[in-house]
Amino acid sequence: MSHWADASPDDDEAEESLVRPYTITHGRTASVRDDLTLITVIATVAPDERHGDRGLQPEHRTILRQCRTPVALAEVAAGLNLPVAVTKILVGDLITLDRVTARPPLAVAVGQEPDMTLLQAVKDALLRL
C-alpha cells in the first residue's frame, strides 16, 4: 500500500492503491484535543508491556518511534509526511491511550520571559554569518 502523497497526478493505477488521510483517521476530520499546536512537544511514555503495539496503526507506531526523544508536533507531521491536522488526530489517539505526553515548549510552560542571554547569543551568532 502506498502513501497518498507519493502518487503522481498522471498515475491511474495509483488511484486504486492510495491510502487517503481520512482512511488513516477512520473518517475523523478534527482532533478532539484543541491544545495541540505546531510547537506542542510530544514524548513517548514507557510502553505498557501488557498491550504492546497491538491495535495500533503503522502511523501510530512511527509516532512512538519518532517521539522517543521529545519532538514538536510539526516535526512529527513532517516525519510522517502527513498533514498536521491528520497528525493531531493520531497524536490525540496516543494521548488517550497514555502512550505519549503532550506539553507546551518549556519557555511557554514555565510562563517566564525568554532567556535574554540565550537570545543575545543567537543574535550574535546570526550577525556573524
- Where residue 121 sits, what CATH number does that domain have? 1.10.10
Angle 9-79-31 from CA coordinates, rounded to 5°: 85
pLDDT tens digits for 66-122? 999 999 999 999 999 999 999 999 999 999 999 999 998 876 555 566 677 877 887
Strand pairing class (41-44; 100-103): antiparallel
| Position with higher pLDDT, 114 vs 44 | 44
Note whether residue 23 is domain-resident.
no
| Residue 82 domain flag | yes
Q: How far apart are CA 35 and CA 55, in angstroms?
A: 25
C-alpha R_g of the chain? 18
Mean pLDDT across the chain: 79
Evaluate whether residue 112 is within a structural domain. yes
> How far is the C-alpha of 67 from the C-alpha of 113, rounded, in Å?
27
- For helices 73-80 and 58-66, the axis angle rounded to 10 degrees is 130
Structural domain that includes position 73: 30-128
